[in-house]
Chains A and B, each alone.
Chain A
């Protein structure tokens, strides 16, 4: 069973904005039934050119439905320019994170949004010169390049998790590997996408709640997030942890390791007086 966050489950069980907008300004369909997921997105602008209404229809698993629901909630009230800046990472962060193997659901949301905006602007839907790399799932080199760049992907497996490319017959693995190497070589410095502090705090809170607190509480302890300064995570320990001699080891080896794994590898944890 997949480890979905409560937010994913909630959006799956009570999806917002299902349907199609009548007289939509922008419409797009991505994915296909063969691939196992597909999304039809439509939106309408108000007189101030802000997105008034956004609706979706999705065929797919729980995280595909939740990602679509989240996307429609996120872009409401945005201008087209603002909506263009929404990334797949934003969609995943809004849901408190997605399992690695399900990140492609957030990428599908991003693609639908981009295509719907292109439809509104009257721009060509397909990027010129794009070439299909993965025949099984119809993924182009442009799509792979962008997923690698925006999500700092390093392996074929990660590319598959984010775009599905390479998840079928496996014939394209060498081609994907070459794209990964090329993109990473081109963009060596500052590869990791910048997370806003709000996103970071939200993901840290989520990780604490879901992955860390239950273990600490099991031993009668607890932890509280005090502040996040850059990559420094300031916390205070509570309950049994406050009097435990080993709590600094727990913080370094468990809490910090977990946060690095789940949120960002650059984080360091610091204990502050409560």
Chain B
């Protein structure tokens, strides 16, 4: 059975060009970039190139790029550094819809005496900027707001938020794991201090990430060890993955236009068709302030895990914000923060596309999904009463 992969916000396929770039650095050029011999030195040179490729994608300087092991490490390093370099401040401003890498970290820090403000979002998943401004205090050590939401694709105005934070001398971090490579990002045009990137969300392998640290930002390392990454992240470099991520950044820069044109068109086609074919369905999150590859659709009166498993029978991969898939008993914290009603939240499905998706794949999903939803609604006790109510009114 052919796999139709529409779960690219979870992880992506390693691009063939990326794999090809990495392969020589496992077995042939395995030298340690810190070594004095030219066998290691040639790898160090390659790392330099990767650093330049990554910097170019986000309009940064190469020495502002710190390679880490993943997005979660980058987030941890950023927040902990801000706290360590501002020991007199113990307040963190963040939002209710952040990724667990930030949410759980903040919950943990709250247990260690930090005060956390989790900003609410409206029903479209957008921030109230006035409320954001009011939350900033002289005690605020750092603001961390995600650039784009992993579940809904909703984009926050982080560049504006960074300016407001800076007016008050507060460092600003953003988790840009979902937005990097999907929307234009230019660090020369904003004042964001720290920014997290994950390799496997943009067709590089898992286990590699970036923390961007703007020149002049006070920084205390999270991983303490050797002098790698100019002392900002100890540990021998993951050379093949860094080289792969460099290549992936180069490809992402090249594909950015296709992402916003072709991928967006396929996403819009899928969304419009499903909403048209399936009654009582709706999109979660703002339709405009949104990534071009993501749509989060709720199908009322059916449960997400059941939808996913029936889609799985056709080889279609997606995600759900339902309780049954989250491992907890409550639906996704993002949908709850947006006030999505329970009848909708349990039946939410996130489709996230990539440049590798084709028109045929989207047509296949458009053909299968209405059948799946109808089948599950046929079993749902709530759907019967709704259908009856509609018939009698």
Chain A residues within 8 Å of B, Cβ to Cβ:
2, 9, 12-13, 15, 18, 20, 29, 33-40, 57-62, 64-65, 101, 136-137, 160, 164, 167-168
Contact = CB atoms under 8 A, between A and B. Distances in A.
Contacts of A65: 306, 379
6 closest A-B pairs by beta carbon, nearest first, are A167-B329, A61-B324, A61-B305, A40-B381, A57-B381, A34-B342
Given A36-B323, A59-B303, A61-B304, 5 more contacts: A33-B382, A57-B379, A59-B302, A59-B382, A65-B379
B301 A33 contact: yes
A32 to B, nearest CB: 8
Contact of B331 (A36, A37, A58): A36
B371 interface: no
Contacts of B323: 36
Interface in B53-85: none
B182 interface: no
A160 B342 CA distance: 20
Given A33-B342, A36-B323, A167-B329, A58 B301 contact: no
Contacts, number: 73
Contact of B303 (A34, A40, A60): A60
B329 A59 contact: no
Contact of A18 (B309, B310, B329, B379): B379
B368 to A, nearest CB: 14
B306 A168 contact: no
Given A59-B302, A62-B306, A33 B343 contact: yes
A36 B303 contact: yes
B310 to A, nearest CB: 8
A108 B306 CA distance: 17
Contacts of A164: 329
B301 to A, nearest CB: 7
A217 B272 CA distance: 49
Contacts of A39: 381
Given A13-B313, A38-B381, A59-B380, A167 B306 contact: no
A59 B331 contact: no
A160 B327 CA distance: 12
A175 B343 CA distance: 29
A164 B324 CA distance: 11
A189 to B, nearest CB: 32
Q: Is the interface of B mostly helix, strand, loop or mixed?
A: helix
Contacts of A58: 379-381
Nearest to A68: B379
Nearest to B344: A33
Nearest to B378: A18
A102 B284 CA distance: 27
26 contacts: A13-B310, A13-B313, A20-B384, A29-B381, A33-B301, A33-B343, A33-B346, A34-B342, A36-B322, A36-B324, A36-B331, A37-B324, A38-B381, A39-B381, A59-B301, A59-B379, A60-B303, A60-B306, A61-B305, A61-B325, A65-B379, A101-B327, A136-B330, A167-B330, A168-B329, A168-B330
A38 B342 CA distance: 13
Contacts of A29: 381
Contacts of B346: 33, 36
Contacts of A12: 306, 309
A59 B378 contact: no
Nearest to B342: A34
A35 B310 CA distance: 21
Contacts of A15: 379
**Residue in A18, A37, A136 with the greatest tally of chain B CB atoms within 10 Å:** A37
B223 to A, nearest CB: 32
Interface in B369-393: 378-384
Interface string B163-186: 000000000000000000000000
B384 A57 contact: yes
B3 interface: no
Contacts of A160: 329
A84 B310 CA distance: 33
A59 B305 contact: no
Interface string B337-360: 000001100100000000000000
A15 B310 CA distance: 13
A231 B49 CA distance: 65
Contacts of B131: none
A219 to B, nearest CB: 29
B112 interface: no
Contacts of A18: 378-379
Contacts of B381: 29, 38-40, 57-59
A58 B377 CA distance: 9
Among B303, B304, B313, B327, residue most surrounded by chain A Cβ atoms (within 10 Å): B303
Contacts of B342: 33-34, 36
A177 B302 CA distance: 33
A69 B331 CA distance: 25
Contacts of A168: 329-330
Nearest to B380: A59
A60 B324 contact: yes
Given A167-B330, A168-B329, A168-B330, A61 B379 contact: no
Contact of A61 (B303, B330, B380): B303
A23 B162 CA distance: 65
Contacts of B380: 57-59
Interface string B283-317: 00000000000000000011111100110010000
Interface in B127-149: none
Contacts of A64: 303
